[in-house]
Amino acid sequence: MSEATNSQLADQVHPPYLQHHFAEPVQQFEAAKIGMWLFLVTEILLFGGLFVGFAVMHSRYPEAFASAHHHLDRALGALNTVVLLVSSFTMALAVAAARAGKRRALIGCLVLTLTLAGVFLVVKYFEYSHKFHEGLLPGRFYSYKGPSVPGEFMFFSFYFLMTGLHALHVLAGMTAISWLIWRARRGDFSAQYYNPVDLVGLYWHLVDMIWIYLFPLLYLIR
Amino acid sequence: MQKIEEFGARRGEVPPNYLTASRGWRSWIFTLDHKRIGVMYLWSVLAAFLLGGIFAMLVRLELLSPGKTLMEADQYNRAFTLHGAIMIFLFIIPAIPASLGNFALPIMLGAKDVAFPRLNLASYWIYVIGASMALASMFFGGVDTGWTFYTPYSTATTGPVSLLTLAAFVLGFSSIFTGINFIATIHKLRAPGMSWFKMPLFAWALYATSIIQILATPVLGITLLLIVMERAFRVGIFDPALGGDPVLFQHFFWFYSHPAVYIMILPAMGIISEVIPAFSRKTIFGYKAIAYSSVAIAFISFLVWGHHMFTSGQSPLASAVFSFLTFLVAIPSAIKVFNWVATMYRGSIDLKAPMLYGIMFLLLFAIGGLTGLFLGALSVDVHLHDTYFVVAHFHFVMMGGVTIAFLAGLHYWWPKMFGRLYSEKWARVAALLIFVGFNVTFLPQFLMGSRGMPRRYYNYVAEFQPLHTVSTIGSWILAVGLFLVAAYLLASLRKAPDAPANPWDARGLEWTTPSPPPVHNFDTTPVVTRGPYDYRPQEVVA
């Protein structure tokens, strides 16, 4: 049998998106899902350290934390919560479009998600620059001149660490979504193969979910 | 016994294996083959072991006599920090899973590769980046905090602490990627017929290890990042001067670093579970008990971190609970040891090199494990905390346990990895030297510790000198033994391939494929019908 017929035969059994060490697409898809879920677990534990640290310091300086959170703008925080929730919805629509093999709808939903992520970061930028202006900064850079309770800088240490780490994850998500758009335009995805869309979707929902916890914790505590 | 393949008789006729299938440095650094990645990891961790060992020798040499022997006090602090950091983060954590595990696990499961080969390669190169950062910190003046980076000293001292902590942070990714890969591989890539309870126990051990790697490493990651933030921005979380809490750092650090010692020991136990039945010619005793005890150890490992803080002002109630939970770890550990011993009972024991290290492991790990109970007991720990007793206990488990098991695994799979048999005669000599050297080095440290010699001290009172001197001399014997291992293993690579597919007549799937294996591990996907330790005579079964 010649080389060419061999590879044609292999293509029928082994579609191009199927890596050589998997026997069938389902196996590859399930393995990738396990991997992604495990990665999400590590993300939760990464943030978990900060949540525990926040809880410990909050219990130690309750007045300072309660007083410091008044400096945050609830309206902007709420706006960003809505923005991220909607972006999760458009991401879910993107996965559904991918599963149905609708390429234009997939690209449209991904672009929408990317735009909403950008809106989130722009709002965050305005919030940050306001804090910078007031001197509400972490640690040694804290230079707020107005009335304050001792220990407020600790709240801002956590505020910037937690929202900063979250913003980095938003950026990573935007990179991943851009990569999906590029691949979708190239025509890589089909109803049979859309694993990356599904996996990035899972990641994006996690980024959203972490914010769902950060918003009440930082903006709404008493 | 399978017929020995006639390697090298006529080079052209030898079917290519994973080492010879492609050539050139590109075929290595971009390889997606788990076997090649395992081999690259192997050379890397061995280089780290050599470097960490050099620092160990320097530390022991300095302690030969009180006062200055070789270096100044601050140089000594840097030497023991580098010894600890290199041995922990660059050697012991990746040693077994990432090198031997990477090589052997997919073959033992009958798979062509790990689930995510690209992630596997990324893990290796992230390891290289992290290792380079750690080494760079050495050239920027060195770090003197000890590998534990305790605050507030680590946030106040000068030197490239941030670089070394970031190195450990980066190395964490490499560890997590390996863990994710192994769990997905074990779930999804087992050969037809290989049910969970037909898996080799090494796979069970790596599964339990991976769970810890995934759940614990991110917490270390954020802790180390907080140290960097503390040094860069004085965020105040761990700094008592700013109202922070240094004991909180200890909690965070040990929430990772205690489970991390099980990241090290569990794969070692997995190797012992392979070696002991193979060289006792017997089915393993208590397969399920050993498998479940790995998972049990992984679970309990997350609940014992507080035993590092018995003297740090932790509440007595918390300490009592942590002490109780610490004792619980002894149960699954002892289950394993009893099962290994029961496997050997009335077996036909063959004292080949892997088995010598297997037996050595049983003896040394038993001492290491039992002395852990002393340290887990609240009242005793107040006396022994931060003494050489802790150093000796830790080295009995990590060196006597993990490293000896690593050597057992290295000798067990060496013919599979490189297709060469090493000299059994020299292997015996080296094993004896290592056993004697190890005990001469570390047994005196138990005595010193119980008499009050503090760990990490540069200077000591004259009454400790005889024991310190004996310990230092022991370290020389140990070093000679280890160099001997390096010598005969490297020498074996210089001769023509001579290893048969199954030099030990062992039963795992990895022994059914040629040594070294072909690129895709098996010519046809194996179908598993028998357990992994079925050492009944083959004809009877067939």
Q: What confidence score (pLDDT) does residue A15 get?
A: 82
Mean of pLDDT values over B196-225: 96
SS3 for A171? helix
**Residue A13 located in a structural domain:** no
Q: Which domain CATH number covers B157?
A: 1.20.210.10
**Residue A8 located in a structural domain:** no
Task: Tell me which chain B residues have a C-beta less than 8 angstroms from the C-beta of A151.
Answer: 243
Per-residue confidence band for A146, with pLDDT thresholds at 50, 70 and 90: confident
**Residue B2 located in a structural domain:** no
Query: Looking at the complex, does the CB of residue A70 fall below 8 Å from at least one CB of chain B?
Result: no
SS3 for B159? coil
Angle value at C-alpha B335, between B330 and B341, nearest 5 degrees: 120
Q: What confidence score (pLDDT) does residue A135 get?
A: 87
How distant is the Cα of A140 from the closest Cα of chain B, in angstroms? 5
**Residue B256 located in a structural domain:** yes
pLDDT in tens, B366-418: 999 999 999 999 999 999 999 999 999 999 999 999 999 999 999 999 999 99
**Residue B9 located in a structural domain:** no
Is residue B40 predicted with pLDDT exceeding 70? Answer: yes
Query: Looking at the complex, does the CB of residue A140 fall below 8 Å from at least one CB of chain B?
Result: yes
Task: Tell me which chain B residues have a C-beta less than 8 angstroms from the C-beta of A27.
Answer: 188-189
SS3 for B387? strand
Q: What confidence score (pLDDT) does residue B2 get?
A: 37
**Residue A18 located in a structural domain:** no
Q: What confidence score (pLDDT) does residue B77 get?
A: 95
> Which stretches within B110-200 are classed as H helix?
117-139, 153-156, 161-188
Task: Tell me which chain B residues have a C-beta less than 8 angstroms from the C-beta of A39.
Answer: 176, 180
Q: What confidence score (pLDDT) does residue A13 get?
A: 62
Give the number of C-alpha atoms closer than 13 A to the C-alpha of residue A50, restricted to the C-beta side. Answer: 28
Of A22, A38, A139, the CB nearest to B214: A38
Percent above pLDDT 90 for chain A: 75
Q: Which residues of B touch A (CB under 8 A)?
A: 111-117, 119, 176, 179-181, 183-185, 187-189, 214-219, 221-223, 226, 229-230, 233-237, 242-245, 248, 252, 520, 525
Number of neighbouring beta carbons within 10 Å of residue B228? 17
Number of neighbouring beta carbons within 10 Å of residue A198? 16
Q: Which domain CATH number covers A32?
A: 1.20.120.80
Instruction: Among B188, B189, B228, B229, pick the best mutation site for testing chain A contact (most A Cβ within 10 A).
Output: B188
pLDDT in tens, A106-141: 999 999 999 999 999 999 999 999 999 988 888 778
**Residue B139 located in a structural domain:** yes
**Residue A48 located in a structural domain:** yes
Cβ(B280)–Cβ(B343) below 8 Å:
yes
Number of A to B CB contacts under 8 A, please give it: 119
If one counts the domains in chain B, the total is 1
Q: What confidence score (pLDDT) does residue B10 get?
A: 44
pLDDT in tens, B474-532: 999 999 999 999 999 999 999 888 899 999 999 999 999 999 999 999 988 899 988 89
User: If you average pLDDT over every residue of chain B, what do you get?
Assistant: 93
**Nearest-Cα residue of chain A relative to residue B255:** A49
Residue range of the domain that includes B149: 33-541
Cβ(B430)–Cβ(B499) below 8 Å:
no
What letter would DSSP give residue B454?
A: B
Mean of pLDDT values over B25-42: 96
Q: What confidence score (pLDDT) does residue B541 get?
A: 47
If one counts the domains in chain A, the total is 1
How distant is the Cα of B222 from the closest Cα of chain A, in angstroms? 6
Instruction: Among B182, B235, B254, B520, pick the best mutation site for testing chain A contact (most A Cβ within 10 A).
Output: B235
**Residue A36 located in a structural domain:** yes
Are A38 and B520 within 8 A, CB to CB?
no
Are A153 and B179 within 8 A, CB to CB?
no
| Residue B456 CA: distances (Å) to CA of A26, B9, B152, B174, B242 | 54, 56, 17, 29, 28
Are B117 and A19 within 8 A, CB to CB?
yes
Q: What confidence score (pLDDT) does residue B539 get?
A: 56
Q: What are phi and psi of B504, to 5 degrees?
A: -100, 0
pLDDT in tens, B321-358: 999 999 999 999 999 999 999 999 999 999 999 999 99
Mean of pLDDT values over A183-207: 95
Residue range of the domain that includes A66: 23-219
pLDDT in tens, B102-123: 999 999 999 999 999 999 999 9
Query: Looking at the complex, does the CB of residue A39 fall below 8 Å from at least one CB of chain B?
Result: yes
Query: Looking at the complex, does the CB of residue A125 fall below 8 Å from at least one CB of chain B?
Result: no
Instruction: Tell me the two tokens of residue B44.
Output: 């890397």
Per-residue confidence band for B463, with pLDDT thresholds at 50, 70 and 90: very high
Of B111, B180, B235, the CB nearest to A138: B235
How distant is the Cα of B173 from the closest Cα of chain A, in angstroms? 10
Are A20 and B116 within 8 A, CB to CB?
no
How distant is the Cα of B209 from the closest Cα of chain A, in angstroms? 14
